[in-house]
Chains A and B, each alone.
Chain A
Amino acid sequence: MAAEKLALAKAITESLRTAMENDPKVIVMGEDVGKLGGVFRVTDGLQKDFGERRVIDTPLAESGIVGTAIGLALRGYRPVVEIQFDGFVFPAYDQIVTQLAKMHARALGKIKLPVVVRIPYGGGIGAVEHHSESPEALFAHVAGLKVVSPSNASDAYWMMQQAIQSDDPVIFFEPKRRYWDRAEVERESIPGPLHKARVVREGTDVSLVAYGPMVKTCLEAAEAAAAEGKSVEVVDLRSMSPIDFDTVQATTEKTGRLVVVHEAPVFLGTGAEIAARITERSFYHLEAPVLRVGGYHVPYPPARLEDEYLPGLDRVLDAVDRSLAY
C-alpha cells in the first residue's frame, strides 16, 4: 500500500483516532480539544466521531487535567491529555512529578499509570511568552516518566500509538513549528520501538544528535556541509528518557566527533547528559570534545529576538567546524 503524505499535526490526529478505535478505554482530554479541535487542531473531528464522553473539554486548570487523568487511569482508562502550550504545563508539574511519575513505584508495581501528556513545545512561531519553551529536561530528570518527541509525521503517528500503549506515563512533546511539515506515513507496519534513536542521514566526519524541531535544522545543516565537502551524520534521538545511548555511542565512535543540538537551554540540558555519558563510554574514540548547541540561560526571549536565541543553520555549522578544527 502506498504511503500517504500527512502533516505532522494531522498524523497525530490520525494516530489518536486509530488508538481510540482500537481501545474504548482511550480518552482525550484538555482545554478546547472538543468542538474547537484544539488550538492547533490536533484533535480536530475526534469529538464529532467519538462523542463528548471520550473527547472531553476540561475546565481551564492544568493540575486538574493531569490530576483527574491519574484518577481515570486508576479506574482503567488510558487518558491522553493536551496541555495547550509548553509554558502552561507548570501548574500541572506538581501532579506530574509528585504523583504521576511515582505512583506505580509507590504501589510496588500493583497499579499502572498509562497517561500520555501531550505538550506542543518549542519556538520559531513568533508567539508571546510561555508559548515557545522547551522544558523537556525538567521531565526527563524525573524517574518514572518517559519523555519523547517526534521530528516528522511518520514518527509522530507511530510514537503516539506506542505512547498510548505504554503502561508508563509518557510526556509527549510535539514540535509545534513542524506541525505543518508533511511527510509520508507508512501505516502498515511499526517502524521500530518508541525509545530507539535513529540515524536519519549517514556521514563520516561529524555526528549531529538532535530531536524534535532541531532534526530538520540538522538535516539542512548536513546538506549545507556536504556542499562544502564535509560528511555529516544526523541522529534523531526521539526519546529523552530513556536515551538510547548505544546508538549515540555508535555514531560517535564512527565519526569521532559529536555535536548535540536542541532548542532548550544548554545548561544542565539533554546535551549535557549526552556529552557526559558519551565521554565516559567513548573517551578514546573522541577526536574532539562533545559540543552542544542550544538556547542560552535566559528566559525565552520576545519573538523579535527568538532567531538569535534558537539554534539555526549557521550555529550548527559553526559547531561542526569547531569540532573538525580539533
Chain B
Amino acid sequence: MTAKKAPARAAAPATAKSAAKAPARRGSAAKTPATARKAKAAPAKKAPAAPVPAAPADEPELVQLLTPEGVRVPHPEYDRWVEDITADELRGFYRDMVLTRRFDAEATSLQRQGELGLWPSLLGQEAAQIGSGRALRPDDYVFPTYREHGVAWCRGVDPTLLLGMFRGVNNGGWDPTSNNFHLYTIVIGSQALHATGYAMGIGLDGADSAVVAYFGDGASSQGDVAEAFTFSAVYNAPTLFFCQNNQWAISEPTERQTRVPLYQRARGYGFPGVRVDGNDVLAVLAVTRAALAHIRSGQGPMLVEAFTYRMGAHTTSDDPTRYRADDERQAWEAKDPIERLRAHLLAEGLADEAFFASLEEESEAMGRSVREAIRAMPDPDRLAIFENAYADGSSLVDEERAQFEEYQASFADVSAGEGE
C-alpha cells in the first residue's frame, strides 16, 4: 500500500499551522499592544506555557484506492466494496466527472457573460461528488449545500434546473421529491438538521433508506452541524454526514475551523468517522458504500470526510489569489480526480481513444445545450412574487397582490392609450 499521508498541506499558507504560535501572539499582544508586531516574530519558545494541546503532528491516513498516477493500490478493508465494479462502470464514472466538469465550466462562463448572477464552481470536487452520488439508491434522500452539481447529476436532476436560482428566476426551483434531491441550501450547515429530521422519519417509518447531508469544512463549525450530529446519534438516525473538506471556506483555511481532523469529530458524538481521498472516485465510492451499509443495518449515523480541494474560487465573486498561494493549487492539480481515472483507464487498457473522443463530443454538446437552455430561460411572470408564499393562502398576500395588479394595470392603460 502506498503512502496515504494527506499531501500538500505543507504547501498551504502558514496560517495556524503551528499550535504554539497562536497563543504566543495573543499573550504578548494583550500585555503590550505597542510591541505586538515584534512579539509576533518572536520564536515560539517564548510563549507562555498555555494549556493548549498540540495539533496532531501528522495528518491521518486516508483511504485511497487509486494513486494520483492512476495506479490501483490494494486496501484490506475497502477493496471488497468495489470488487464488482466493471470496466463499463469505471468509464461511466469518468463520463460523469467529465460532463459535470463541463457543465460547471459552462456555468462559470455563462456567469462571466452575464447570464448568471453567481456561480459556485465544483472544480476539483468531481470525484467526491460522483463517488458518493453513485453509491446511493433511488430511495435515499440527499440534502445538498449549494455546490453539489455532481451529486445532482447522479440523482438525475436536469442540470439546467440548478441554474435557475443563480440566474435569479427563482429561489430554488425544483421539486425535491421527484429525485429525492433537496433544494440547495445557502445558509451554511442548516440542511444537516433537515437531513437528520428526514432520517428520523425514515426510522419512524421502519424503512431502510439512508439520508446524505452534504456540507463543507466551514460548515463543520456551525452549531447546526453539531446539533445534527447530536440528534442523529441519540436517535440512531440513518444519516450519512458527507463532509467535502475542500480546504477553504472562502478565505478561511480548515485550520481556522478545527484543531482535529474533521472525521475524528464523529467519535465525540458516538459514531464512526472516516477520511477518504476525495479526489479518488473509486475510494469515495467504496467508503460511501460501506458507510451506507453500516447505516442501513440500523447502526446509526456516520461521518465521511472527503479530503479534496476547491480548485477554483469559492464563487465567481471570490478572488482566491488574495488568500492562497499558486503553488498550493499546482500541488493539487497533480492529484486531479479526472486525470487520475483517465490514467488508470489507459494504463489498464479499459478505455480507448475512441471512447475519449466520443466523450469529448458529448461534452461539447452538453455545453451547447446548457448555453441554449439558459439563454432561453424566461424571466418569471411578475405575479410569481405572490405565488407559493403560503400553501394555504394568506389574506395579506391576497390584499397585496390585488394592489400590485391594480398598480400594474394602471401602466397597461397608459401604454395602450399611447399606442393608438
Contact = CB atoms under 8 A, between A and B. Distances in A.
Given A61-B230, A64-B228, A94-B190, A242 B394 contact: yes
B201 A77 contact: yes
Interface string B149-179: 0000000000000000000001111111110
Contact of B187 (A91, A94, A245): A94
A168 B190 CA distance: 20
A118 interface: no
Interface in A134-193: 143-144, 146, 166-168
B234 interface: yes
Contact of B388 (A53, A71, A74, A108): A108
Interface string A239-261: 00111110000000000000000
A105 interface: yes
Given A59-B230, A95-B190, A106-B183, A67 B394 contact: no
B234 to A, nearest CB: 6
A300 to B, nearest CB: 25
A143 B182 CA distance: 21
Interface residues of A, number: 48
Contacts of B185: 99
Interface string A90-119: 010011001100111111111111000000
A107 B172 contact: yes
Task: Find the residue from A58, A103, A107, A146 having the highest chain B CB count within 10 A.
Answer: A107
Contacts of A104: 388-391
A75 interface: yes
A146 B390 CA distance: 9
B200 A72 contact: yes
A126 interface: no
A61 B391 CA distance: 28
Given A68-B193, A69-B197, A95-B193, A74 B182 contact: yes
Contact of A64 (B176, B178, B231): B231
Contacts of A302: none
B195 interface: yes
A75 B201 contact: yes
B82 interface: no
B197 A72 contact: yes
Contacts of B205: 75
Nearest to A106: B172
Contacts of B200: 68, 71-72, 75
A323 B187 CA distance: 47
B395 A242 contact: yes
A99 B194 contact: yes
B204 A107 contact: no
A95 B193 CA distance: 9
A242 B193 contact: no
B7 interface: no
Given A104-B388, A109-B387, A67 B198 contact: no
A53 B228 CA distance: 18
A310 interface: no
A108 B173 contact: yes
B196 interface: yes
Nearest to B143: A71
B175 to A, nearest CB: 4
B405 interface: no
Interface in B352-401: 387-392, 394-397, 399
Nearest to A239: B395
Contacts of B173: 106, 108
Contacts of A61: 227, 230-231
Contact of A98 (B170, B172, B183, B190): B190
B271 to A, nearest CB: 15
A70 interface: yes
B391 to A, nearest CB: 4
A99 B190 contact: yes
B214 to A, nearest CB: 14
A74 B227 contact: no
A318 B283 CA distance: 75
A79 to B, nearest CB: 8
A309 B350 CA distance: 78
A74 B224 contact: no
A265 B202 CA distance: 43
Interface of B: 143, 170-178, 182-183, 185, 187, 190, 192-202, 204-205, 211, 223-224, 227-228, 230-231, 234, 387-392, 394-397, 399
4 nearest interchain CB pairs? A71-B197, A67-B193, A75-B201, A106-B172
Given A98-B190, A105-B388, 20 more contacts: A53-B204, A59-B234, A61-B230, A64-B228, A67-B227, A71-B193, A75-B198, A75-B200, A75-B205, A104-B391, A105-B389, A109-B391, A110-B174, A111-B175, A111-B177, A143-B389, A143-B397, A167-B392, A241-B396, A242-B396
12 contacts: A53-B204, A59-B227, A59-B234, A67-B228, A71-B194, A72-B200, A74-B197, A94-B190, A98-B187, A106-B173, A167-B391, A241-B394
Interface of A: 27, 53, 58-59, 61, 63-64, 66-77, 91, 94-95, 98-99, 102-113, 143-144, 146, 166-168, 195, 241-245
